[in-house]
Amino acid sequence: MNTKQLEYVRVLSIEGSFSKAADTLNITQPSLSQYIKKIETEVGLPLFERTGGNVRLTDAGRVYLESGKRILDLEHQMNAKIRDIAENKSGSLVIGTSPFRSAGMMPEIAKRFRGLYPGMHLVIEERETGALIEGTEHGEFDFCLSLLPVDEHIFAWEKVMEEEIVLAVPSSFAPLPSVKAGNRKYDAVDAKMLNGLSLVMISETQVMQRALDNLCRDLDIRVGKAAVVKSLSAQVAMVRAGVGAALVPTGIERFCAEGEVRFYSFIQELPRREVAAIWRKDRYLSEAAQALIEGIKKINW
């Protein structure tokens, strides 16, 4: 078994048809069909049940795919350990993160990492939160930067920072009455003043939308929708354009020119977003990955 064989079987199992899988893999359908038949001949059993134009894994196919992932993961861990022993570090480190953190945080991290490990290079894979956790579980990253909590039976993690949830308001809006409040990053407003406002929102699959839903429920307030977007970068662009205010995590300020947006903390104690480096418990975390995590902790986010 090799990486190519496993990838072909994995993609075909996901797509459910040879034509779709061939498009995804950028090969011809006959080539893919012949390749799968060759693997099945080597195994001695069919890996896929073919019904019309659709396919699905047989019991043997599921065993092949699951066992293959474990075998290749063990190979990855062996290679990582050997790289750590070698005096001259080389190779790559694959990190999963959100587009928001990739653009705002990773340039500084990559520069520091190059100073420590000039023979290695970072590969940054951008995904949304759910896809980051799924990719980490499947061994696609050395680790990912995402939000806690995660399943402690599957993952190990190290918290690297906390993000305060703040209110972003277009500079064209009138300033809000605010006060100094404890350890908050900005002058604070009463969250109850959100009642009746129309906000730029993130689609409800996002963590920030759940935070807003919980806030409205706890304070018995209602907010309208000025716009609904799928990413933090699109959300802050809407705020800059004056479409409406929004709840955002600290760190988003890096995407705003001075004076474009006013930021306010909340008087109420909102839960902070805990950001962690997350990896699979059974996966070896290399010396380089550990050094990178320590560097992330030092970033002023």
Mind listing the pLDDT tens digit for each residue in 40-56? 999 999 999 998 889 99
Domain that holds residue 151: 86-162+274-297
Q: Is 154 contained in some domain?
A: yes
**Domain assignment of residue 78, yes or no:** no
Bridge-based pairing of strands 120-126 and 48-51 is unpaired
Same domain (yes/no): 172, 254: yes
Whether residue 196 sits in one domain with residue 257: yes
Q: Which amino acid is at 218?
A: D
pLDDT digits (tens, 9 = 90+) for 198-220: 999 887 556 677 778 888 898 89
- With 80 as the cut, is the pLDDT of residue 294 above it? yes
Four-CA torsion 201, 202, 203, 208, nearest 10 degrees: -110
In terms of domains, do 193 and 176 share one? yes
- For the record, the structure tokens of 69 come out as 């992932």
Q: How far apart are CA 28 and CA 291, in angstroms?
A: 43
Give the pLDDT mean for 232-255.
89
| Residue 74 lies inside a defined structural domain of this protein | no
> What CATH number is given to the structural domain containing 11?
1.10.10.10
Please tell me whether residues 51 and 106 are part of one structural domain.
no
Q: Are residues 280 and 150 in the same domain?
A: yes
- 115 and 250 housed in the same domain: no
Give a yes or no: residue 75 inside a domain. no
Full-prediction pTM beyond 0.75?
A: no
- In this structure, the dihedral spanned by the alpha carbons of residues 112, 115, 120 and 125, taken in order and rounded to 10 degrees, is 10
Identify whether 117 is part of a domain.
yes
Same domain assignment for residues 287 and 152: yes
